[in-house]
Chains A and B, each alone.
Chain A
Amino acid sequence: MTTSLLEISELTKTFGGVRAVNNCTFAVPEGQVVGLIGPNGAGKSTVVDLVSGFGRPDSGTIMFAGEQLVGKSPDVISRLGLIRTFQTPREWRNLSVMDNVMLARRRFDNEGLWQCMIRARAIRREEESDRAAVREILERFQLTELKNELASRLSGGQKRLLEFARIAAAEPRLIILDEPMGGVNPVLGTRIGDAVGQFAGDGRTVIVVEHNLPFIEKTCDQVVVMDLGEVIAQGPFAGLRDNPRVVEAYLGMDLGHG
């Protein structure tokens, strides 16, 4: 029996008179890949921001693995095991690819100022296991050749892969991908789809916010549809085309082939 890893309940957020999120309620079962779709302005990105701590809801609750997330700052939420991406890749540009992924390992204990002053050599030794793991991950995403390059020198596609490498390194319980297919060519798209599949295979829970419906259809176990700030449907992708509310919201957009 799958329990809900993430439960959003009557979430509301208003920006200057506009209700971006309006009594939004849905639950994400653990271990599944759940799509979050909806037309522009549906409130998807706002929900992602609220869940990850980049913004505080006006009302409603967010439960993640039994913990209430409302009011917590992004770093605290992240430490609970939630990693999110942003609509544009946000690599740390003047750091090497290796450093970018190492940082995702989140060995916070090693980052104390005092620690690094007096135990520098020991810390470096302790880091070796992380380094080995990161090298493997870089290999998986075919970034090994670039590991000592500055992240700013990567191409757009490589930056996307770097993001996935970081996610893999972080070993989170819940991953929220905010439009991972934005501006991505089909070849890279396949690799991203494989990466998502691999995350699911590792037992992680993934939420994918996307406009690219074929991608959603391929990767997601179920889909949550939002429009005008609230959830209008939830269920397997196949059933959406028969859902009148969904069709109306998308009005004429191609909901994909069977």
Chain B
Amino acid sequence: MYWVSVFTEAGIFAILALGLDMVWGWGGDFDLAFYGYLALGSYMTFVLTIGRPTPPVEYILGWHLPVLLAVPIAVVVVVAFAAVIGSIALRNLREIYFAVLTLAAVSALYIWVENYTQLFDGYNGVYGLINPGQTTLRLTYNGYRIVLLGVVLVILLLAYLLVQRISRSPYGRMLRSVREDERAAAAYGRKIFTAKFRTYLFGAAIAGLAGGLFAIFVSAFNPSAWTPQELLVIYAAILVGGRGNPRGVIVGVFVVYVGLIELTRFLPSPASRPDFSPALRQVLIGLMIILMLKFRPEGIFRERPGRDEPGKPARPAIRQFRTRVAAATSRAARVSGSPLGSAPDEGGAG
């Protein structure tokens, strides 16, 4: 059951990462607000489903909607919030300024949530969404958790297929051209802000969805669940897996999240120091970020532009593999003068 829990959480983070990757990997904008979107999605899901608060607990709304209705509404709220931030941040700010602004936005949100208790009961947070629908589906607690894992993985798969489809489409190509060189993209007729903004909203929607799933998964949510520590695992995972590559991103999340937990599970914490082992985990994550950036910034799975094979519009995996092998062996002869083996530059996504 432990593993069910680990993989469910990893699956939810993988969904979040798909959304973040669209903005960071494809779009090239390092956004630090994304975990805030997950948090907001979680919070909203709660206050839409757990009913009226009993004092001294307080929070907004307090409706009693079914979860299947609450999550989409939560997503809408998250997208609205992201629209505000995105319309400010994406217009003219790039690179570090953009990162700092999104960090300021999420920090402000955090302070607001933590202190304005009427919103989500401040530091205490919200709770009470325990296995929604468990009795209707006649499942045991454990049974429900297993079904939940299945549901999360199915949603992840659907999200992956959708995101991959978009990635390989003209839209994905256009967005990446904006990332690579905005001036040239504008000179060829692309509307820069519109492209980035649309992507931002879509990514935020995915983050909101992940938030809704997370609410179902954890059944309680408060500010301690979204400290900066939590944020950075996702970024490390995307770096490891490969920015701009949806498959890589998912692999990265599972590798980093599951692998790291496993690696550090056996590290002891001194009896008097329970935060030792989690802190060590974070140290490893920090190291991972630095090492990946230094030695393999594009990640395990590079972003792969589509190959042009006349007459073969679809790209079945096996043919792809064979073509890759053939192309790799003949590549040396063709591109003379270019430094082979050098990693493709990180471009604007750096």
Binding site for B on A (CB under 8 A): 52-54, 73-75, 78-79, 83-84, 86, 90-96, 98-100, 102-104, 106-108, 110-113, 115-117, 120-121, 123-125, 127-128, 131, 135, 145-150, 152-155, 166, 170
* Binary interface encoding of chain B residues 19-56 relative to chain A, with 1 for a CB under 8 A from any of its CBs, else 0: 00000000000000000000000000000000000000
Contact indicator A131/B187 (Cβ below 8 Å): no
- Please provide the 3 A-B residue pairs with the shortest distance between their CB atoms, ordered closest to farther: A116-B169, A92-B180, A78-B189
Q: How far, in Å, is B311 (CB) from chain A's closest CB? A: 9
Contacts of A54 in B (CB 8 A): 183, 186-187
Any A CB within 8 A of the CB of B305: yes
Q: How far, in Å, is B299 (CB) from chain A's closest CB? A: 13
Contact indicator A103/B191 (Cβ below 8 Å): no
Contact indicator B308/A147 (Cβ below 8 Å): yes
Contact indicator B188/A131 (Cβ below 8 Å): no
Contacts of B187 in A (CB 8 A): 52, 54, 74, 78, 83-84, 86, 90
Contact of A96 with B189 at beta-carbon distance under 8 Å, contacts A116-B166, A155-B338 already known: no
Contacts of B202 in A (CB 8 A): 113
Q: In whole angstroms, what is the CA distance A59 to B305 when docked?
A: 44
For chain B, residues 145 to 184, give those with C-beta under 8 angstroms from any C-beta of chain A.
Answer: 162, 165-166, 168-174, 176-177, 180-181, 183-184
Contact indicator A131/B308 (Cβ below 8 Å): yes
Main secondary structure of the interface of A (DSSP, over half): helix
Q: In whole angstroms, what is the CA distance A104 to B310 when docked?
A: 19
Contact indicator A73/B186 (Cβ below 8 Å): yes
Contacts of A150 in B (CB 8 A): 305, 344
Binding site for A on B (CB under 8 A): 162, 165-166, 168-174, 176-177, 180-181, 183-192, 198-199, 202, 303, 305-308, 310, 313, 327, 334-335, 337-338, 344-345, 347, 349
Q: In whole angstroms, what is the CA distance A117 to B307 when docked?
A: 20
Q: In whole angstroms, what is the CA distance A125 to B314 when docked?
A: 10
Contact of A94 with B303 at beta-carbon distance under 8 Å, contacts A75-B192, A78-B187, A111-B171 already known: yes
Contact indicator B165/A117 (Cβ below 8 Å): yes
Q: In whole angstroms, what is the CA distance A111 to B168 when docked?
A: 11
Q: How far, in Å, is A144 (CB) from chain B's closest CB? A: 10
Q: How far, in Å, is B322 (CB) from chain A's closest CB? A: 15
Contacts of A110 in B (CB 8 A): 169-170
Contacts of B162 in A (CB 8 A): 117
Contact indicator A79/B189 (Cβ below 8 Å): yes
Q: A54-B187, A153-B344 are in contact. List 17 more A-B contacts (CB 8 A).
A: A52-B187, A73-B186, A74-B187, A75-B192, A90-B184, A95-B305, A96-B305, A96-B306, A102-B173, A111-B171, A117-B162, A120-B165, A128-B313, A146-B334, A150-B305, A152-B347, A170-B188
Q: How far, in Å, is B26 (CB) from chain A's closest CB? A: 11
Contact indicator B189/A90 (Cβ below 8 Å): no
Contact indicator B308/A111 (Cβ below 8 Å): no
**A73 nearest in chain B by CB position:** B186
A-B contact pairs, 30 of them (CB 8 A): A52-B187, A73-B186, A74-B183, A75-B189, A90-B187, A91-B184, A92-B185, A93-B180, A93-B181, A93-B344, A94-B303, A96-B305, A98-B308, A99-B305, A103-B188, A112-B171, A116-B166, A120-B168, A121-B313, A123-B169, A123-B170, A124-B313, A145-B334, A147-B308, A148-B305, A148-B307, A148-B308, A149-B335, A155-B337, A170-B188
Q: In whole angstroms, what is the CA distance A123 to B349 when docked?
A: 27
Contact indicator B338/A116 (Cβ below 8 Å): no
Q: In whole angstroms, what is the CA distance A93 to B165 when docked?
A: 22
Contact indicator A127/B327 (Cβ below 8 Å): no
Q: In whole angstroms, what is the CA distance A147 to B171 when docked?
A: 20
Count chain A CB atoms within 10 A of each CB in B183, B189, B191, B192 and give the residue with the most. B189
Contact indicator B171/A95 (Cβ below 8 Å): no
Q: In whole angstroms, what is the CA distance A87 to B241 when docked?
A: 36
Contact indicator A117/B166 (Cβ below 8 Å): yes
Q: How far, in Å, is B274 (CB) from chain A's closest CB? A: 44
Contact indicator B171/A94 (Cβ below 8 Å): no
Q: In whole angstroms, what is the CA distance A206 to B191 when docked?
A: 24
Contact of A116 with B335 at beta-carbon distance under 8 Å, contacts A95-B176, A170-B188 already known: no
Q: How far, in Å, is A159 (CB) from chain B's closest CB? A: 11
Q: How far, in Å, is A33 (CB) from chain B's closest CB? A: 20
Q: In whole angstroms, what is the CA distance A226 to B174 when docked?
A: 37
Contact indicator B198/A106 (Cβ below 8 Å): no
